[in-house]
Amino acid sequence: MSKPEIHPQAVVSATAKLAPGVKVGAYAVVGDGAELGEGCVLQPHASVGGPAKYGRSNVFYSFCAVGGDPQDYTFQGERTELVVGDGNIFREYVTVSRGTKKGGGITRIGNENFFLAYSHVGHDDQIGNQTLFVNGATLAGHVAVDDFATIGSFSVVHQFCRVGRYAYVGACTVIVQDVPPFSRVVTERETRSFGANSIGLERKGFSKERLQALDHAFRLLSRSKMNTTQALAEMRSKLAGSDDVQELIRFIESAERGIVK
């Protein structure tokens, strides 16, 4: 492999170690004690801290901050580490903290994990291989996530919890107990429709007549005792002159995942 390629506007600590084939983009930062394996790529503005060891072919996207100090009141600047395997992807604004002395001192991440934008790995966490962290997925400290697990978008995992192999945590779920391997866990869904967006539509210039037709349609759809098929038939019968209602009907009939009622 070729020598490291360092953009002249990047900042690389004198104590950092860069293996052959490493690429460091403009304004990227490689901190004290960071060791980057062959083929790692830092895109512009990425930040990689230390003490930390990063394996081969990891990709750090712009504005991620990996290997920073633990977010813990007891941290007093003592030496703690982050150890990362090979082939991991850290997308924009991902944050990963090093360990704490009381938690063993090391945060570990295995191989081929995919961290989407704004996800967070807390101090002393232990991450396996080929996991997926969807946008905004957040781990507190001392969490263990085993191989092939998925943490859904904006889901949070309480400290000291474990997520087993192949487990799936659905979006916007709060985990306060261990998630068994092979399981699917998701918070209750109570999203419902509250009828036509009358105020917003009025501000967009909808006439009183258009609003009345839509209000009638939504009352048939979600407040009557009719099922969706019956409600659509009633809408066709009583509101045939409303182009807005016809658009609503076409949308509902083309829905492949159902509609919010």
Name the catalytic one among 72, 123, 125, 146. Answer: 123
Vertex 129, ends 127 and 134: CA angle to 5°? 70
> Tokens standing for 56?
């081969």
> Tokens standing for 169?
């945590």
181-203 as b/e: b if 16+ CB within 10 A:
eeeebeeeeeeeeeebeeeebee
Phi first, then psi, for residue 80 (nearest 5°) are: -135, 165
Name the catalytic one among 21, 31, 103, 124. Answer: 124
123 is catalytic: yes
Name the catalytic one among 21, 110, 128, 141. Answer: 141
Phi first, then psi, for residue 157 (nearest 5°) are: -120, 125
> Tokens standing for 194?
């509250």
Q: Which residues are catalytic?
A: 123-124, 141
